[in-house]
Amino acid sequence: MAGFGFICLLLALAVCAYGIAASIYGVRTRRWEYADSGRRAMYALAAVLTIAGLVLELAFISNDFAFNTVADTSSRTTPALYRVAAVWSSQEGSLLLWAWLLSLWSSLALFLTRRRLREVAAYATAILLGLGGFFVGLMVFYANPFSTTTPAPPEGVGLDPLLRFPTMMIHPPMLYSGYTLCMIPLAFGFGALLARRLQADWIGAIRRFAFAAWLFLGIGILLGARWSYAELGWGGYWGWDAVENASLMPWLTATAFLHSLMIQEKRGMLKVWNVSLVLATGTLAIMGTFLVRSGVLNSIHAFGGSTLGVPFVCLIGVLIAASIYLVVSRREMLRSENRLDSLLSRESMFLANNLVLVGLCFVIFWGTYFPLISEAVTGQESSVGPPWFDRYTVPLALVLVLLSGIGPVIAWRRATLANARRNFLAPVAVALLALAALAAAGLAHKPLALAMFCLGAFVLAVVAQEFVRGTRVRRAMAGESVPRALASLVQRNRRRYGGYIVHVGIAVLFIGVAASSSFQHASELQLSPGQSTKVGPYTVRYVRPTASITPKYDRAHTGSTVAFGAEVDVSKNGRHVTTLSPSEGYYASGEVSQGTVGSLIGGQPVSHVSIDGGVTRDIWGAVEPNIETGRLKKIVDAGNRTLSSDEAIVAIGLLAKEYIKKPPPAQFHFIVSPLVMWIWIGGLIVFLGGLVAVWPAPSTVRARAAARIRARSPRDLVRA
Amino acid sequence: MAALAVIIIFVLIGLIVLVVGAPLRRAAAERGGSSEGSEAPLRRAELEAAREAKYREIRDAEMDFRTGKLSEADHLALDAELRAEALEILNALEALDAEPPAGD
């Protein structure tokens, strides 16, 4: 079976090579049958990689430990659902997932554009097949998912306990969908430059894919943040980690592109800006993949030894060099067809918005890659932490939220001051009211958070005003009821109102971030049963220890041998609020040197956080029991000396009983964060708004609109 | 099992050749393959995209006026400008329609 899978990879490589050659030959000689053949090569690539992926999935599901990937990341005790997802927890499997998703999305994009943009699509096909071939080549030559060991080990290492979490099953496919969807605009951007077809039609063709990339990346980023908050034991959702930043950067440039492409579609402006954003987004997506897969930032000294690092750097170098060359050499064709009519216009606001987004991306890029640059210059490794990132990103985020409130209220081309004043009156009043109320509530000591709350209120008021006015207009025109008018309004103006909903989501998300980070109460201390502490307005009391043994009792399927934890009572003003049950799971290490009992719990312990989530606040608790002391250690040592590996589980039972009977003090970490839930709610609203914006209008509405337009004679368009 | 895998591989290769080669066979059957595409379809696609974008601009301007972002005077001026631009595009499309098709 492994051999069959590897041959599929070789077939995939051959298909890519043929497809690249056929597409380029077809477009250069204008023999379109070859370009069509190249497009079909992409379909064939998708089919072959699907088969290869199924082979690997079957190996995981059937516990075929002859496959090295299966042996390294799965085991017989790994729950079935996690075994399916374990495919992409390894380097090799994740490369296959990347290549497969790329081939699927590319096939869809090329199918949908098969009847137009012939030249552009042919070049795009070659580039997408080139990227597909690159990832398949990595698997064939460097990280083969079908490599085997004979004889096969009887059992696998198992899935990393940190990944045994539902959102981690879909986080990589979401993120990789985002990364691979970024390749579509990249390829079509290159195609438009190579074919010298730089009018708005290529932009229109890839708009939905750019939006889909933005949406999937956003969902992937949010899922990762949720996993960090709910699974890792530090209580945060964003740590400015290199891996987090790697996914955020292309999302920021994609956001900028989605705004400025509207300007190119309408006014033929910002062509250089748009094509640069598209190329930058794709390149940043590749760089993000490189960061995650090569481990270059974790260990700078591993760069030379990392077999994936060099090919990735070469690819990134080619992308950057080609981008610069093509944009510079086509600069005459990229000249704007119009000029900015007025600084007080939606075009200006979008441009300002883009400058802020690109500025944010630059700051994050610098902070993320600084260790590399620093070592190259000084020879000493260094890094920047969250305080550095916060110092520069928070002010930019404030400006971004402000602009997201101003943009919808300003007209295209030019707005007058009088109109602007009239349109901003109510939203500014709401923002000022919010400021007064929050300052009176005693929040003035956190000016940045206060500013974000007020700007968030401003954005919400602007969008509400837009919906109210739009509904009123619709009712006046069509005599519809309020709900019907609202539905028609959104249906007929999906991009506009979907975008407004996205802005609401972003405002809500940032309000959640500001509140949870600025007004958090945290406490980290050692407690024995019966002891309590104050965390903000809450009293937290360690009631009793808990212990659960073997996966049989492990409802969360964490796969731990044993989990020690605590029951914690949370009260406020003497009234019971909730009960938290944090625990720490201890996993088998497989290390014989740790002894028969020691090896059952000697693996990396994993914190299982307990969260009581609510609309106004989250109460978060984690515990780190100490099992290295006194009688507990004696039980383990005695078990190591006297018990065989089959009997060792008995000692685990004794350990659990002793932990309950005489629990040593445990280290607790409690956090009370206001409005955390609104981060996830904001993300959902963004997702819904995105769906509204990108959803095609119903065919009847489209047909009616098109018929109305065609029914006009050209002369009718000119008023007397 | 190995024999089955080999058979599947060959079937797969055959299917790929069949699917990927279909346009080439079709073109050969049509005596000489696809003719070179003229510039007209590409120009038409560009003009049609520009026309749709212009219609969207006209609708957006009307929406901006009705929701109070544009004064009536500004809207009238902008609307006239946009409709003149749309007319130019429609004229260009008409001119394209009037062109004789590319000869064999």
Give percent above pLDDT 70 in chain B: 82
pLDDT at A554: 56
Domains of chain A in sequence order: 1-160 (1.20.120), 522-677 (no CATH)
| Contact criterion met (CB < 8 Å) for A197 and B46 | yes
Contact A694, A212 (CB under 8 A): yes
* Chain centre to alpha carbon of residue A281: 14
What's the pLDDT tens digit per position in A123-133? 999 999 999 99
| Contact criterion met (CB < 8 Å) for B42 and A118 | yes
As a whole number of angstroms, the distance between CA A267 and CA A202 comes to 15
Mean local confidence (pLDDT), A599-607: 83
Give which of B67, B70, B74, B83 to mutate to test A binding, by max A Cβ within 10 Å.
B67
Is the pLDDT score of A300 beyond 60?
A: no
What's the pLDDT tens digit per position in A573-585? 999 999 999 999 8
Using a CB–CB cutoff of 8 Å, tell me whether A263 touches chain B: no
Of B50, B63, B90, the CB nearest to A717: B90
What's the pLDDT tens digit per position in A338-395? 777 778 888 889 999 999 999 999 999 999 887 777 777 777 777 778 889 999 999 9
pLDDT at A316: 92
The DSSP secondary structure of A149-162, one letter per residue, reads: -SSPPSS-----GG
Using a CB–CB cutoff of 8 Å, tell me whether A339 touches chain B: no
Is the pLDDT score of A41 beyond 80?
A: yes
A and B: number of Cβ contacts within 8 A = 140
As a whole number of angstroms, the distance between CA A639 and CA A602 comes to 14
Q: Predicted confidence band at B38 (pLDDT cuts at 50, 70, 90)?
A: low
What's the pLDDT tens digit per position in B44-86? 877 887 888 888 888 888 888 888 888 888 889 889 989 998 9
pLDDT at A208: 87
Q: Per mean pLDDT, which range of A267-281, A304-318, B81-95 is the poorest?
A: A304-318
Contact A490, A689 (CB under 8 A): no
Mean local confidence (pLDDT), A398-408: 94
Is the pLDDT score of A595 beyond 80?
A: yes
As a whole number of angstroms, the distance between CA B18 and CA A37 comes to 10
| Residue B65: strand, helix, or coil | helix
- What pTM was estimated for this model as a whole? 0.89
Is the pLDDT score of A714 beyond 50?
A: no
| Residue A542: strand, helix, or coil | strand
A217 to chain B, minimum CA–CA distance in Å?
Answer: 28
**Ranges of each domain in chain B:** 38-98
Of B16, B41, B60, the CB nearest to A412: B60
B-chain residues near A114 (CB < 8 A): none
The DSSP secondary structure of A278-326, one letter per residue, reads: HHHHHHHHHHHHHHHHH-TTT-GGGTTT-TTHHHHHHHHHHHHHHHHHH
pLDDT at A675: 95
As a whole number of angstroms, the distance between CA A209 and CA A117 comes to 15
Give percent above pLDDT 90 in chain A: 54
HSE of B27, CA atoms in CB hemisphere, 13 A:
19
Give A414 or A278, the one with higher predicted confidence. Answer: A278
Scan for tokens 């075929």, then name that residue.
A64
B-chain residues near A119 (CB < 8 A): 42
Is the pLDDT score of A252 beyond 70?
A: yes
Give percent above pLDDT 70 in chain A: 93
What's the pLDDT tens digit per position in A218-244? 999 998 899 889 887 788 899 898 888
